Amino acid sequence: MQKDNQVFDLIKKELERQRHGIELIASENFTSLQVMQAMGTVPTNKYAEGYPGKRYYGGCEVVDEIETLAIDRLKKIFNCSWANVQPHSGASANAAVFLAVMKAGEKFLGLDLSMGGHLTHGSPANFSGKTYQAIHYGVTKDGIVDYDQLEAKAKVEKPKMIICGASAYSRDWDYKRIRAIADEVGAIVFADIAHPAGLIAKGLLNDPFDHCHIVSSTTHKTLRGPRGGIIMLRHDFENPWGLKDPKGNLRMMSSLLDLAVFPGSQGGPLEHVIAAKAVSFGEILDESFTAYGKQIINNAQAMANAFVIRGYNLISNGTDNHLMLIDLRNKNLTGKKAQETLDKAHITLNKNAVPFDDKSPFVTSGIRVGVPAVTTRGMLEAHMETVVGFIDKVLLNADDEKIISETKLAVKEFMAQFPLYPELN
């Protein structure tokens, strides 16, 4: 069969784009070469509906070992008693949690998307907002989760589930307080740690497993694995709604979650991706990943300081994790304009709504900036000053094509110090 040069030429083009640009999208990272190699292997050919030892197809003995290894490594990372590694994405994982816990039309409480939340936490455009009754809490004028508002709404609305987690929030979470509120109103606490999971894994942020019933995450972002999702329980427990198995026993939450993933919301798992997840989990268990997590936080705080010095308005005035949210209104720029202009200089980030935004989600007043990818490439605190200098120069000269072109060349030269996948030529 003839090689499909059209597709592989485009893949090569994307490799070059990644090599020459500064990647600051908070939800992106660069996997190791062995993670990518694992994804492109023969488990992609195997259908394996079900779970290890309980498949609907024959010939699953090897993929059973692969999936079991991924589960065992993940449980070790987060000190859990149960894990499911089959969700195709973070959104798929969250959909399964909803399916396991909620009935259509029931209430849950989540962080408003416009305040830093996630689509799957109740956006009216998403299944979570269409199928269930979403109640939202927000942040204070200082950009910190408004726990008083969360508590007040929980007491009035009596939600079945409270979600903690975000896609654009730069501070740590008070999981203990949320659990106390949930216990008072009889709610399940569900933590979506897709963004800070890699930092939580190494004890660098508060541990949601100490207080939350169910935890989900993506496997990319700060976990630096392949794109996919996971669901975990530190302690399994009987479901509080009296749901029973065919033998009349109360179902454990792990059983409800397994059933919600398959057959509830997915068919056959992507065993080649699960193999790549297993590889990345092995990398996370290595002590070097602790140093990586610490460097992420150091870089994020150095970058935040560099922005503040230049007069940028950071929501909550800083960061505890890997990202920061910047309100550009004092710079007379929209998030859309900033993203599009920086793209021209090969600096990639995303426009983002800021709390109490007066612009549409398609324009926004802010940008979200994250450091996991540049940290993977070897950048340190001093390099954050250089990166922010590039950003500031472009944004202050957003309509000057000459300066933008000069910055693009300077970015390419700067990034040559940090080789990406030199084995791939």
Sequence spans of domains, the chain: 34-285, 290-415
Question: pTM here?
Answer: 0.96
The set of long-range contacts for 347-351, using a CB threshold of 8 Å and a minimum separation of 24, is 347/21, 347/22, 347/24, 347/387, 347/390, 347/391, 347/394, 347/411, 348/21, 348/22, 348/23, 348/24, 348/25, 349/24, 349/25, 350/25, 350/26
Helices 288-309 & 271-285 angle (0-180, nearest 10): 80
One of 19, 47, 76, 348 is an active-site residue; which one? 47
pLDDT at 223: 98
From the candidate CATH numbers 3.40.640.10, 1.25.40.10, 2.40.50.220, 3.30.565.10, the one assigned to the domain spanning 34-285: 3.40.640.10
Asked if 290 is an active-site residue, the reply is: no
CB 373 within 8 A of CB 29: yes
**Which parts of 150-213 are beta strand (E)?**
161-164, 188-192
Quick count: other Cβ atoms within 10 Å of Cβ 205?
Answer: 22
One of 55, 73, 160, 227 is an active-site residue; which one? 227
pLDDT at 425: 79
For the purposes of burial, counting CB atoms within 10 Å of the CB of 336, is it exposed (0-12), middle (13-18) or buried (19 or more)? Answer: middle
Indicate the CATH number for domain 290-415.
Answer: 3.90.1150.10
- Give the number of C-alpha atoms closer than 13 A to the C-alpha of residue 291, restricted to the C-beta side: 8
Asked if 218 is an active-site residue, the reply is: yes
Q: Please give the DSSP secondary-structure letter assigned to residue 346.
A: T
pLDDT at 274: 98
pLDDT per 10-residue tile (average), the chain, 425 residues: 94 97 98 98 98 97 98 98 98 98 98 94 95 98 97 98 97 98 98 98 97 98 98 96 90 97 97 98 97 98 98 97 98 97 98 95 96 98 98 97 97 97 91
How far apart are the C-alpha atoms of 246 and 267, rounded to whole Å? Answer: 22
Closest CA to 19 of 425, 418, 315: 418
One of 112, 192, 207, 327 is an active-site residue; which one? 192
One of 218, 222, 376, 407 is an active-site residue; which one? 218
How far apart are the C-alpha atoms of 240 and 228, rounded to whole Å? Answer: 29
The strand pair at 366-370 and 323-327 is best described as: antiparallel
* Phi and psi, residue 229, nearest 5°: -130, 165
Asked if 47 is an active-site residue, the reply is: yes
Asked if 192 is an active-site residue, the reply is: yes
How far apart are the C-alpha atoms of 198 and 322, rounded to whole Å? Answer: 10
